[in-house]
Structure 1
Amino acid sequence: MTSGISGVPREWQAAVARRDAGTAWRLLTPEAQRRYGSVKGLRGALARLALDSHGPSGWRLVNTDTQGSGTPSTFLYLLVEKRNLRPAGAVVVHSIADGSADGRVDPVPAATVRILEPAARATVGVRPRLRAAAGSPPAYAVVRRDGEIQGGVGSIRDADGWDTPFYDALKPGPALIVAVEEDGGGRLAYGSVRVTIR
């Protein structure tokens, strides 16, 4: 279902890097186009929208919100550096879930979700507490060098208030835990923390 739009974040990244305002404009959602006003208005913002990668990186799909084929859908892609799993930027791709390459980008996700535990650069046990400073439990993804797994905080919660982890994802080694929250109006917020699972 996402194969048709998986290239959209790369197209956006390339257009912004080239400062190609015309191509970047065509990739924007109508709402984002209204925010920038015109191709000229977007051109003035391209330097701010450039993604901050300090080494080889790749786009990782960390959240999908869809009701099935042919419905409006959103996909949160995170640009993650391959060596150290540092997030270098994000875009939300809006599409109709039909497998076509018609995705449109909102390059400005909403305000960051602040992850409270574990602390940044933490070394955690096999059952890390996954909690975010948000009113409702957010979705989350665990990004590793060999892939990513998505799930929901609280969906596998034990009586002690700790979440049973995705055992396939939380194996020993470095990981990036990403929390994602939707505001009800289609705006996605995310936060991340780099951890080492011991």
Structure 2
Amino acid sequence: MRARIRRGRLAWVIAAALAVVAAAVVTVVAVLDEPARPHICGCKPPPDTGGIEAVLRGWQDAAAHRHVQDAWRLLTPEAQRRYGTPQRLRPELPRIAPAPRAPARWTLIDEITQGRGTPSEFLYLLVEKRTLRPAGAVVVHSLADGAADGRIDPVPAATVRILEPEARAKVGARPLMRAAISSPPAYVAVQAGGVSHGSVGGTRRPDGRDDPFGEPLRPGPALIVAVQTDGNGHFAYGTVRVTVRRPTRSAR
């Protein structure tokens, strides 16, 4: 009797296993018979700004040497409408041209992008390497795909005033900041050998100060940049040069 029961159970297990295998075969055949579908992903890879450096160098060279036609070709259509014609741009070049007094490098400060291959805007600041003096700023409009296809808008829409700390102040490794705008801006600290980005949003304290840098800044000179965007590709920024003190036991 028990042998018959065991044989019956074994037969049931085998039948169930065969049913599962058959279903799997049917599913595989059905999938293989379907026409190929394109893989659609709602995400984009990170922006590729490799080609923008050539655009920045081209703009700096054209503006410095007053090559009006070269500078005109690098302007965005909006900037071209603002200046009207290459002839009207000519007298403006001395004012809007980057003017470093010493070796300087273009530093990416902020961006508005949805990823590689999308219309994107990048705010670059030309910063002197030794003094950290800002020598010019431009917004590069690009598809962020690594190609040198960007166009320049040399005049950010407005300037943010950094009220605190004042220029040349000595600050802690996580300095409290105050800017003359109602909402917390993005903060960037440019130091020798690197750039630190402050957190954006929800950083304003009840006393009106911003506490943006979660990671401590390195001791030494720093150029603090406050940036605000309006969501339409227009940037406003302000800078202040400070010195970061070495951390002490009482530091936060």
Q: Which amino acid aligns with 2:109?
A: V
Match of 1:36 in 2: 83
Aligned partners of 1:185 and 1:48: how far apart in 2?
A: 25
Q: Secondary structure at the match of 2:198?
A: strand
CA 122–28 in structure 1, closer or farther in 2 if over 3 Å, else same: same
Higher relative CO (Cα under 8 Å, sequence separation at least 6) belongs to 1
Match of 1:188 in 2: 235
From 162, 170, 192, the counterpart of 1:115: 162
Aligned partners of 1:118 and 1:157: how far apart in 2?
A: 15
Instruction: Name the structure where helix makes up a greater proportion of residues.
Output: 2
Unpaired segments ≥5 residues, structure 1: none
CA shift, 1:118, in A, is 1.0
Trace 1:13-24 onto structure 2 (pairs within 5 A): 13-24=60-71
Q: Secondary structure at the match of 1:62?
A: strand
Once the two structures are superposed, what CA deviation does each residue of 1:124-183 show, in whole Å capped at 9, x if it has no partner?
A: 112211232113221121101112122334456678865252426x11111111011112
Trace 1:20-169 onto structure 2 (pairs within 5 A): 20-154=67-201, 163=211, 165-167=213-215
Aligned partners of 1:18 and 1:55: how far apart in 2?
A: 17
Trace 1:169-188 onto structure 2 (pairs within 5 A): 170-188=217-235
Q: Which has the larger radius of gyration?
A: 2
Runs of 4+ in 1 over 2 A off after TM superposition: 149-162
Q: Which amino acid aligns with 1:101?
A: A
Q: Secondary structure at the match of 2:146?
A: coil
Aligned partners of 1:148 and 1:71: how far apart in 2?
A: 25
Aligned pairs, number = 197
Choose 5-14 or 44-53, whichever is displaced more.
Answer: 44-53
Once the two structures are superposed, what CA deviation does each residue of 1:62-91 show, in whole Å capped at 9, x if it has no partner?
A: 111111122111111111111110111101
Contact 2:199 2:213 in 1 (8 A): no
CA root-mean-square deviation: 1.9
